[in-house]
Structure 1
Amino acid sequence: MMRFTTLIKNPADWMTGEGADNAIVLTSRIRLARNLRGESFPGWAKKEERRHALEVMRPAVEGLSVMKDAFSQELDDLTSVQKQVLVERHLISREHAARGEGSAAVIERRQSIALMLNEEDHLRMQAIRPGMSLRGAFESLSAIDDELENALELAFDHELGYLTTCPTNLGTGLRASAMLHLPALVLSDQIGQVLQAVNKIGLAVRGLYGEGTESLGNLFQISNQSTLGESEETILRRLERVISQVATHERNARDKLLEDDPAMVSDKIGRAYGVLRHAWIIDSKEALTHLSLLRLGGDLGFLPQDTVKTCDALLMDIQPAHLQLHSGRKMTPEERDSIRAEIVRGRLQSLEAPDIRSTRKKDESDPDPEIL
């Protein structure tokens, strides 16, 4: 089995966005909730019942074909910083990290598949893919679900579907979500009405780390709310439609900002570049805000295209637990702010100043409307 240090040494496949268009839709995630038949659900289970459920599940999960040379660990055997790193990487939930004895995580080596054992449900499995790829994520998880159905007896009712701790997960047990980067909708004050419209049709909008978290770095997570009475196909199709509509609104907002107020866009990106290249102390929130604008600059052509990838790697590496792991010791918030600034400066050292003229290139190359 893989060690924690080996798992974390490499960025996850979905973090690097390899081969995917992730300018607006960063990642797609599918999660399935399942429980064992005849076992008390984790929230009600006594300690020995949780341990028993874990002993039943763990060999089946480790035996999955995708889990060859995977990382598998009981959460009790991880330090609080290690658990927090897994939360920051979206590999376990904050709730799972807080659970004690009898909980475990099994994570595929490329980190695109992760299974939480004894979280709110006995099994929470997830697949993450870069860009807009809900189908691909669903298909890979579906194959794992089929494998587990053959190895374990799952709690299933012919009327209600899969039985889960929370009624909103009943039925398919499926939660599909995408992480979107929406800086132009935020800058043009349209974000409120777009998110309101998304909420109105029964989808949830959350921050960077899901339920109860704020949006940082202009990142928003859109997911389905309920699963009962709808097929997987219906849930996925609705989400795909809404996400592509929101992405189109963002793309249009980017074009319109460049057209209507190129000076403001240039200023925002230029200032973000200046702060990140020269700050000696920077907190998480400020760093994420500026990285978001730098990422936008990479997409709009102010900065080289690979700036987007650099920003994505930094989004993860400057999170508090990642910083502590990097320095190998517990740090005060002030120390973290200094180390964060140092890492950012180092990574952006060779990044040249934004090419602000690129905002005018479009106008100069446009034919004169009066001649047409």
Structure 2
Amino acid sequence: MGRMRGLARQRPGRYLVAVPSAAVRCGHRLLEGSVVSDMLDEHLEYVSDQARMALFRQAIGRVVKPGDSVVDLGCGSAVLGLMSLKAGARHVDAIDSTSAIDLAKGTLQGAGFAGHAHFHHALTSRVELPREADVIICDHVGYFGFDYGLIELLADARRRFLKPGGAQVPRRLRLFLSAVDSEGCRKETSGWAAPEVPAEFHWVRASALARVHPMQLKAADLIAAPAALADLNLMEDQPDFMSWTATLAIEREGVIDGLLGWFECELAQDVWMTNSPVNAAAIARPQAYLPLSEPMEVNVGDVVQATIMARPADNVVVWQVQRPGDGALLSNSTLNSGFDSAVHRLMSLRPDHVPQLSAPGRARQIVLGYCDGKRTRAEIHEAVARDHPRLMPTPAELSRFINEALAQDASS
């Protein structure tokens, strides 16, 4: 349950938090402090969601057997690993690439399971385990279900970690779609075009319209009947590119601001978790709001065709809506959400594209070149400062940059 990136590598429950005054001496230290505080708030929300906790406890109770070996993918606080150990698991491999791994260590060790857990501070795809597991568990279920790397995580772990015939949580994902007429959604995407914002900045609104927004909507915000979009068996590999189409029946007159996607996720047999806006038992996880590039007026009885296309591994989602009447197609994509052109970003994904190191990349390469397994940290600082004194604008910034490079890419 590490940090979400890109379109849905943002996790629910992100807040602005207070940072100790000692952390505000410079920008990067402020960022480090806020990230840690943010991580704690994020995982506090997870473990406080009683509906979610109850469902995972029920699912793990059905799947994990006494003596099982369990792998907790993107473990975060390791709350699912803790549930597994309490259910009788012999051993848990807890994997997370973020600072949440320290939260996991403190949790399991404090609960008396220090001898039954091994912690891996790395991306799951870069971890090798000495044993195959009886069960793999993961809660990388995003706002739209597929949008937090869940499919790729499970596929990789199933191939490399799971015993033949082993179990996994979750096991199935159903996706749903509707159309939205919501003042809250309009406010979410209109900030850069607000009257108090200088007109020269209004163009930035286009970027806000080309993003997947986490929104906690209710049935009253929907202008169309919910429609089933896809049914994915997470026990099987899925294609890199996916495309789904749903027919949305308009139930009241109004304006479609965008589409809303959500999930129903089968954690174990007959144990389902959802963030549906029309289900009173939904967990506290926002849905995925996908704004249209322009509002679309509709009437009761209209039928709207909506298509979702996705390459989850590349954080790319495209959504299209066909306007009733004239059949005009309104399209939007997360490829348009940055300040690089969509064409540029698509070109960078081509296999024959030749990438070039950026200036920070070249600087990091220089620093890591001195990390030879013989030099101390002080000797690396001295050598870089001697040979590349202009690598950073000031000696103080050079020292900070070296520390960051070593902390991120060198062993402790």
Higher relative contact order (CA 8 A, sep 6+): 1
Structure with greater strand share of residues = 2
Normalized against structure 1, the TM-score is what? 0.27
Select the structure of larger CA radius of gyration. Answer: 2
